[in-house]
Amino acid sequence: MRHHALPALFAALSVICGSAVAADYSGRARVIDGDTISIGHERVRIAAIDACERGQTGLKDGKVWRCGVAARSYLGKMIDGRHVRCDIIDRDQYRRLVGQCFIGETDIGLAMVKAGLAEAMLRYLPATHSINEVEYGQAENRARDNGFGMWSAEIESPHVYRRSKTSDMQ
């Protein structure tokens, strides 16, 4: 009977240890897009934000504005090659880690929202997280009221844009 209990014990330990190791993920980062970074060989989706997709555009001052490029560029200037620490809170449907990420004490997701280059996306946060939802909501409202970034343009919300692109391919 003991012999059969060992595999279950090892499986439980690997789950516990695996999540403990992933609770804090850090290293030199590079940007994938406006809300996803790579640390080592692991992709991390920045929690609580939704930025324009790479190819997404809108109209700004009567001209085509590449909001996905703008979001990626802003994030790149902030973090590329720098040491980033992410407090991992979940995995998404694509098996990417999802985390609240920092450069020093600066919350990267919150900085993106303040700049108007990402929407606050709080509905998918797991029950146990330490993200200040009020602060994110207030930052989005200020960016919108001041016409920063995406709030100065005519664009689809990133999640609406993705949904329309997915339905176009079907």
d(CA 44, CA 139): 22
Catalytic residue of the set 30, 96, 142, 144: 96
Residue 146: partners with Cβ closer than 8 Å, 6 or more residues away? 116
Is the CB of residue 152 less than 8 Å from the CB of residue 116?
A: yes
Catalytic residue of the set 45, 72, 140, 156: 45
42 is catalytic: no
Catalytic residue of the set 53, 119, 140, 156: 53
96 is catalytic: yes
Residue type present at position 77? K
Tell me the H-state helices in the chain: 2-22, 67-79, 108-114, 133-146, 158-169
Residue type present at position 98? V
45 is catalytic: yes
Question: Minimal CA–CA distance to 118: which of 133, 139, 146?
Answer: 139
Task: List the catalytic residues.
Answer: 45, 53, 96
